Structure 1
């Protein structure tokens, strides 16, 4: 079996990808510094996978640690999640984002090159498309950035592209749209600290009574109901995309791909779907537009289908139901950040 290093593997998307990789037959080692996750995830992953979790506590900025890990274990590839990811925070702390996201990739890839490990799946984002005006988004559209976070992801994509021109890298770049939901077991999911920046975790906290109401940021956009359209993808579908990406890299097939459904959902549609799952009304109020929001952001996923055979399997109700199952389990006492 191939062995994979999963950086940031205790986090939200990383933990679900760990489960998917193990189910696909990969051996996995997690590297995580738990700056935005909790060591308790290891016990849950053991329950889900039926075996021990190989977990190393540390940072991708620690070159000496990485060198030891690559010397001790013959890794066949890396799936790289470890990064800071909050757009708003990146505006307030750009240098921290440059250090962790760009510096972390450089340290990791230098250690990989020294060890002769040339396969990497990189966690990117749809924010590298900037403020597009044409939809759906295809991978060959112009790239730009509107935040330090997006700048770091775009820069990392460019670094990997130029590195692959000089050395025998097999690179898979996956541009995520809006990951939501949780594992069907309710054992792992997304539990952001404080007031969530993203829509579904915010609605979930309203459903739990932790927040009074959903604040809808504008209803005068050029969309059918006036609220913003986004492309939401179930986290288990996203995890499976990483398995398929890694499979392709094992065959030497690099790629840059959008990972979404291609089916946009508005804020009010998401709110209504979550209400249906919960079975009661969830208060909301319409407020002014939020600076930086674009009316539409959704993918053309055709290339991922053609190159990886990837197609999203979970629908909007599945996303909401799995989220609700997860947050109810957390409120019953299984709480940790992921």
Structure 2
């Protein structure tokens, strides 16, 4: 295959220091093929999704600070245009269309990696957090962790599956549920939540969607949610969920909302033996729950952090076959500041995907 022409500079959205305004640079450097280390690849991006995690990275409000200056983003889809010299046994080649996830790289040899928990590897590199991410035209990634995108699967539609989709897919996969069980999805109308509704339906679960607003209600019900609860209109969310589930409570809850209230209520509305999957990452909130009723009801509380390579392959395959579709709006890289503003106000329904300048 003929070599790709790689420019010296590119467009990139850069946060100089945590909390600073985004700067759109047109002269951000691009690594040459000769500068790539073994195992690294250079991907020319077509698009990238925008995740609430990217907003936290820009603000630097999580307990573990990001690198700065920072190019955020971790839901990119593009073409591999170069691979570092002396890369052995690469599962991908130049010209392949691949996706870039939050987990950019891991050692693959430690206990965590061997047990399929690559995302908790102590040597993990995180796209758009500890290494520069996908808010740029060309991004350096790693051959062992990019995800192949199936032919015929639209790049814009695939982008958000790489984080939002993988994250909720894994959480539902390990939610200790079986077909016909009730699952509660707080934040169901958001970027992660609307995908969780669909993956839950693929798993044969009955979905109680919890969120607020007419647009999000319409979205959730159109995607197959069995019941809707508007948390601003409900006088008692716990009572509403118990009423829906014949007084027994839900079998599981996957909390994607970035607030502590969704976690606190779950212990009350889960049935005996239920499972709380903690997914959303509020920066400073704590998980408060009744120890007595957590024990008395035999409640499991499990943290579920993104997904491994196999989770990504499965989530992408389900979406590529049309069983899960991301609801997204297309915008440009230059719109990123406005997108963050919408996320802060909670007015974004579904997902935002940025097209890269070509």
> Shorter-chain TM-score: which interval?
0.3 to 0.5
More strand by share: 2
Q: Bigger radius of gyration, 1 or 2?
A: 2
Which structure has more RCO (C-alpha within 8 Å, separation ≥ 6)? Answer: 1
TM-score (norm 1): 0.36
More helix by share: 1
TM-score (norm 2): 0.34
